[in-house]
Amino acid sequence: MVFIPKSKVSRKLRIAEDYNVKYQSLEARVRIYHDPNEYVPRYEITFPKIEEATRAVLDCIREKIITEITFKTEDILNPEETEGIQKNFTAKAKELITKELPHISKEKIEILIGILAQEALGLGPIEFMLKDQGLEEIVINSSKEPIWVYHRRYGWLKTNIVINDEAKIYNYAAQIGRRVGTQITNLNPLMDAYLSTGDRANATLFPISSNGNTLTIRKFARRPWTITDFIEMNTISPEAAAFLWLAVQYEMNVVCTGGTASGKTTFLNVLSMFIPPTQRIISIEDTREIQLPPFLHWVPLTTRPPNIEGRGEVTMLQLMINALRMRPDRILVGEIRRSKEAEVLFEAINTGHSVYSTLHANTSEETFKRLVNPPINIPVSLLSSLQLIAVMHRDRRKGIRRVLQITELIPSGGLEEIKIELNDIFKWIPSKDKIIEWGKPQRVWNEIKLFSGMDDKEMLKNLDEKKKILLWLVKNKIKDINKVGKIISDYYKDPEKVLTMASKS
């Protein structure tokens, strides 16, 4: 059962935001406000209520629909079949509601259909929160306290919704698990899964979580971030973006690093859009986060946990070894965690594949130390094949994300002892909130010249062209992943045409 207290927002309270969110035919009102009696801001959500008599009729209708509509387990796992199930459910609900409640308006029928669909096929009031573009995280800690949410602008907020039944929390978790073919039980009380939307879900059961059952949903951005967003928000400078574009175009290997929630996977996704459309891309992740334009030659692969019997696991290492047999030009790896995975990754680089990945480290120096020391422990001779480290930073006090460093790795020494020098090319200066050119690229510059046949003058001209196109994207607010990807692809096919277009406006 879900308990939703009535609105208690006083006019005296400072309301930060007031807006509506929709789930199918249902609309809810969201108000974010600061209560002087609370330590954290509040997230209040209100939506249509129904009378007890109508509720009883709806419960009977739901039972009839569930009895009459049958579907197989594989239908739940198939997103296309799921859409069909929803259509059948909606049609049957409309038929039965019209029959049982013949005197209500069409508008109210649509609302009742939405309530039925939300409760039978969805996650109840959580569905409204999943539709709220301002939220990053939705957290149920137990039936004893309200749901918490993490807002992009306001941080952690306490909601007015309480799931006051542990069984209901378990049912939500089990429902998510069924959608992806996994289970959560007393024998297997931990679950990590993701919804068809890409949202990631984690659940734990009592007594593993001693206060009660938990459910944590990390929302996946509905509109993927693009390089336009990064430049517009000052996350990266146009000069640094143009340099990375050039590096990705000419197959320099890049590791994107940063702390927790710094945006390293998002940055990897942004850089991936610079890959030419003529090349085959294989991405390998634990959870699908990378999104690329559909016209790219891209095959996404994801790992799979073992089933309840401990069988059927597909590891990242297995996928990486398999990916090398799929004739990839570029390989994207969600995160480097273990020694074996890192070895395969760097061996792939040495066999002619361009590789892009993420790693949890706060600076370029820390990245280097993590890679060459246990548990990853990559030999320096293998690491020398990596050209660039791009570091993301999250300033929690100011609520901003910035590219902290773009660093190249310069190997030196003989065959017996290879040393690596770190050369910072771009750096973020916090006091000025500005990303500046810190040093001159050496290795990357020379390797691109060798790869492309350009001289210094042509290289500078190329960088200037890319900067001009990026600024044109920002000026015209072109942020859609498909549109940005198309312009980059058009530039590879006919650079003069794109440059002419960028010069005119």
Give me the DSSP letters along 40-60. S-EEEEE-----HHHHHHHHH
Task: Check residue 221 and report its DSSP letter.
Answer: P
CA distance 202 to 320: 25
CA distance 41 to 24: 28
| The pLDDT of residue 51 is above 70 | no
| The pLDDT of residue 248 is above 60 | yes
Give the tokens for residue 382.
Answer: 């293998």
CA distance 319 to 303: 7
Confidence of residue 77 (pLDDT cuts 50, 70, 90): very low
Q: Which residue has the tokens 């790795």?
A: 409
| Torsional class of 251: left (φ above 0), alpha (ψ -120 to 50), beta (otherwise) | left
Helix, strand, coil share (%) of the chain residues, nearest 5: 40, 25, 35
Q: Which domain holds residue 258?
A: 227-504
Return the top range by mean pLDDT from 76-90, 300-314, 325-339: 325-339
- CATH number, domain of 376, equals 3.40.50.300
Q: Are residues 365 and 467 in the same domain?
A: yes
Share of the chain above pLDDT 70, in %: 90
What total of structural domains would you count in the chain?
2
CA distance 443 to 452: 14
| The pLDDT of residue 347 is above 90 | no
CA distance 275 to 488: 9
The answer to whether 308 and 292 have CB atoms below 8 angstroms apart is: no
Give me the DSSP letters along 331-366. EEES---SHHHHHHHHHHHHTT-EEEEEEE-SSHHH
Q: Are residues 464 and 421 in the same domain?
A: yes
Q: Are residues 207 and 302 in the same domain?
A: no
Window from 26-40, 184-198, 239-253, 267-281 with minimum mean pLDDT: 184-198
Q: Are residues 341 and 477 in the same domain?
A: yes
| The pLDDT of residue 66 is above 80 | no
- CATH number, domain of 34, equals 3.30.450.380
- Residue 21, classified by CB atoms within 10 Å of its CB into exposed (0-12), middle (13-18) or buried (19+), is buried
Q: Are residues 23 and 139 in the same domain?
A: yes
End-of-domain residue from the set 192, 218, 244: 218
pLDDT at 68: 67
End-of-domain residue from the set 187, 218, 249: 218
Q: Are residues 247 and 162 in the same domain?
A: no
Q: Are residues 92 and 135 in the same domain?
A: yes
Q: Are residues 125 and 251 in the same domain?
A: no
- CA 262 to centroid of chain Cα atoms: 12
| One-letter amino acid for residue 441 of the chain | P
Q: Are residues 134 and 283 in the same domain?
A: no
| The pLDDT of residue 354 is above 90 | yes
Q: Stretch 183-201: mean pLDDT, rounded?
A: 81
Helix (H, G, I), strand (E, B) or coil at 14: strand
Dihedral sign from CA coordinates of 316, 321, 322, 324: positive
Q: Stretch 8-24: mean pLDDT, rounded?
A: 75
| The pLDDT of residue 143 is above 90 | yes
Q: Are residues 212 and 233 in the same domain?
A: no
pLDDT at 340: 83
CA distance 194 to 286: 10
Q: Are residues 213 and 291 in the same domain?
A: no
| pTM of this structure | 0.77
End-of-domain residue from the set 218, 239, 258: 218
- The DSSP bridge pattern shows strands 42-46 and 135-140 to be unpaired
Q: Which residue has the tokens 């016209």?
A: 295
| The pLDDT of residue 435 is above 60 | yes
Q: Which residue has the tokens 């669909």?
A: 117
Q: Are residues 99 and 184 in the same domain?
A: yes
Helix (H, G, I), strand (E, B) or coil at 427: strand
